[in-house]
């Protein structure tokens, strides 16, 4: 391998998905072909089944360790989307006696927003909290929304468009004061901030492998082992995962997620130190351009996500002019629509500025040279578009 100019396009969309770490891919390959451990991990009648089950259980420990949970508290899912659905719908349906009220925020991932809307049409009542301009929900703000019949509070750990970090420990404490359970979507948080379900008193936590250098199509829901924390299954079948989620477990996907989370536990902090210096390099470079402002907050934010407004430039046009960069206008799910990001609107950014905004996100494999190359392309594109619209 040589270290010449970066190959194009430069991938700065790690918040949409990360590449699978080669060490993870290597582990995944052990569970697929006829000469390997391909058997059904639920097969109890032969050795190959037990060995696949052992691989699943090792991964369960690895994922549990990364958030200080007990392995028995990990329920495999197809990703964080399904984990969010199971957490919200599964918990609200199982706890009707406790109350029909759910509290969440307007800038949650669509997997939470749309699930909460579906619950509204099912007869549950939802309070939608509006975050501050920094993308955070304060404990005081949450306290005002809580009621005797609040069954669940769902607030994300790290926002996927802004990188803003909620104080989940403080929020969970307030939820518990009112007897409500606390769920957090931590898909963007693994390896980026400290996660400890015991210290942070989290009852339900959604996780995804592919935001943490694992494969797409697998995730987990942490469900605290406590009589008050029950979720009703959404997918019925063979009674896998203690009845909470049926379906044959994908051994290779799960082993990959386990390895990815173990690597995050070992290397996540070191990654973030390196990424913080990439962030500084990028932001310093942007500062030499006129009319550039950050939508991401300066404090309480992860350095791997930078949301930037380019004054007087249409974001879609800029995206087109930056074909050599793999970036997005916000969440991947929105990049097909011309509506500005609901997350930016949700923190009070005006429509025009939201239309002029792009999200850049960095990761384990991002290099200084790629940041410099991206900056040069951005400078050229922004200047070109400003000239042409004058
Ligand atoms: C990516 C993401 C999801 C969805 O995860 P999948 O595993 O792709 O289903 C949910 N929440 C957040 C915050 C995310 O970033």
Q: Quick: pLDDT tens for 350-369.
A: 999 999 999 999 999 999 99
- Check: CB of residue 296 under 8 Å from CB of residue 162: yes
- 164 and 293 in a single domain? The answer is no
Q: Which of 222, 240, 263 is the endpoint of a domain?
A: 263
Write down the pLDDT at residue 106: 98
What is the structure's pLDDT at 329?
Answer: 82
Do 306 and 377 lie in a common domain? yes
- The pLDDT value given to residue 339: 84
Residue 200 pLDDT > 70: yes
Does the residue 222 lie in any domain? Answer: yes
Domains contained in the chain, number: 2
Q: Which of 226, 248, 263 is the last residue in one of the domains?
A: 263
| 29 vs 38: CA distance, rounded Å | 10
Q: What is the predicted pLDDT for the residue at 387?
A: 81
> Mean pLDDT lowest for which of 1-5, 125-129, 261-265?
1-5
Dihedral angle over CA of 12, 24, 65, 304, nearest 10: -10
Q: Are residues 200 and 272 in the same domain?
A: no
How far away, in angstroms, is 7 Cα from ligand 1 center? 28
Q: Are residues 76 and 107 in the same domain?
A: yes
pTM: 0.96
Q: Distance (Å, rounded) from C-alpha 127 to C-alpha 149?
A: 12
From 354, 361, 371, 370, select the one nearest 306 (Cα to Cα). 361
Task: Please state, in angstroms and as integers, the Cα–Cα distance from residue 30 to each residue in 40, 44, 56, 251, 254, following that order.
Answer: 14, 20, 12, 9, 12
Does 32 fall in a domain? Answer: yes
289: CATH: 3.90.1150.10
In this predicted structure, the answer to whether residue 6 has a pLDDT above a threshold of 70 is no
Average pLDDT, integer, range 205-227: 98
* Percent of the chain residues topping a pLDDT of 70: 96
Q: What tens digit of pLDDT does each residue of 47-91 get? A: 999 999 999 999 999 999 999 999 999 999 999 999 999 999 999
Closest CA to 115 of 231, 227, 265: 231
Same domain, 259 and 277: no
**Domain contains 1:** no
Taking residue 154's Cβ as centre, other Cβ atoms within 10 Å add up to 27
Q: What is the mean pLDDT of residues 141-162?
A: 98
Catalytic residues: 333
Confidence of residue 333 (pLDDT cuts 50, 70, 90): very low
pLDDT of residue 331 exceeding 60? no
Residues 250 and 298 reside in one and the same domain: no
Question: Is residue 171 domain-shared with residue 306, that is, in the same domain?
Answer: no
Ligand 1 touching residue 80 (CB < 6 A): yes
Same domain for 151 and 71? yes
118: domain CATH number is 3.40.640.10
What mean pLDDT comes out for the span 5-25?
A: 90
The reply to whether 172 and 285 lie within a common domain is: no
Determine the structural domain holding residue 89 and report its residue range: 22-263
Weakest-pLDDT range from 47-56, 143-152, 275-284, 323-332: 323-332
pLDDT band for 199, please (50, 70, 90 cuts). very high
350 belongs to a structural domain:
yes
Residue 5 lies in a domain: no
In this model, does residue 4 exceed pLDDT 90? no
Cα of 241 vs centre of ligand 1, distance in Å, is 21
Q: Is pLDDT at 2 greater than 60 in this prediction? A: no
Judge whether 3 lies within some domain: no
Is 367 in contact with 6 (CB distance < 8 Å)?
yes
Residue 144 sits in the same domain as residue 191: yes
Q: Output 253 or 390, whichever has higher pLDDT.
A: 253
110: in domain: yes
Quick check: 197 and 166 in contact, CB under 8 A? no
Mean pLDDT of 248-273: 97
User: Are 274 and 359 contained in the same domain?
Assistant: yes
Position 330 pLDDT exceeds 70: no
Q: Which residue has its alpha carbon closest to ligand 1 atom 2?
A: 187
High-pLDDT (> 90) share of the chain, % = 92
Could you identify the atom of ligand 1 that is nearest to the CA of residue 159? 13
Whether the CB of 258 sits within 6 Å of ligand 1? no
Domain boundary (222, 242, 263) is at 263
Average pLDDT, the chain: 95
Nearest protein CA to atom 12 of ligand 1, as residue = 187
- Is there an atom of ligand 1 within 6 Å of 115 CB? no
Asked if residue 2 belongs to a domain, the reply is no
**89 and 215 inside one domain:** yes
């Amino acid at each position: 391998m040589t270290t010449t100019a970066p190959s194009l396009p430069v991938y700065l969309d790690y918040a949409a998905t990360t590449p699978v770490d080669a060490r993870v891919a290597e582990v995944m390959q052990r569970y697929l072909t006829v000469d390997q451990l391909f058997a059904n991990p639920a097969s109890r009648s032969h050795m190959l089944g037990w060995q696949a089950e052992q691989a699943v259980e090792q991964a369960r420990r690895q994922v549990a360790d990364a958030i200080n949970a007990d392995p028995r508290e990990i329920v495999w899912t197809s990703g964080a989307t399904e984990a969010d659905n199971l957490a919200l719908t599964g918990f609200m349906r199982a706890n009707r006696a406790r109350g029909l009220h759910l509290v969440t925020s307007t800038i949650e991932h669509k997997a939470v927003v749309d699930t909460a809307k579906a619950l509204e049409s099912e007869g549950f009542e939802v309070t939608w909290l509006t975050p501050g301009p920094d993308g955070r929900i304060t404990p005081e703000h949450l306290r005002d929304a809580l009621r005797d019949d609040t069954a669940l509070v769902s607030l994300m750990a790290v926002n996927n468009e802004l990188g803003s970090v909620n104080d989940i420990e403080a929020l969970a404490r307030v939820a518990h004061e009112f007897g409500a359970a606390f769920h957090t979507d931590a898909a963007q948080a693994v390896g980026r901030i400290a996660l400890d379900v015991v210290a942070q008193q989290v009852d339900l936590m959604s996780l995804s492998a592919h935001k943490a250098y694992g494969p797409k199509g697998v995730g987990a829901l942490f469900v605290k082992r406590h009589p008050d924390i029950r979720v009703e299954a959404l997918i019925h079948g063979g009674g896998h995962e203690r009845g909470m989620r049926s379906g044959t477990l994908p051994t290779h996907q799960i082993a990959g997620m386990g390895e990815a989370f173990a690597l995050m536990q070992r290397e996540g902090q070191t990654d973030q130190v390196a990424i913080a210096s990439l962030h500084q390099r990028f932001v310093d470079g942007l500062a030499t351009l006129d009319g550039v402002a950050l939508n991401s907050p300066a404090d309480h934010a992860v350095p791997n996500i930078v949301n930037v407004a380019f004054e007087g430039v249409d974001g879609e046009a800029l995206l087109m002019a930056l074909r050599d960069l793999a970036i997005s206008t916000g969440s991947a799910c929105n990049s097909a629509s011309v509506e500005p990001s609901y997350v930016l609107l949700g923190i009070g950014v005006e429509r025009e500025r939201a239309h002029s905004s792009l999200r850049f996100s960095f990761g384990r494999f991002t290099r200084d040279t790629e940041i410099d190359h991206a900056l040069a392309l951005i400078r050229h594109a922004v200047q070109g578009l400003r000239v042409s619209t004058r």
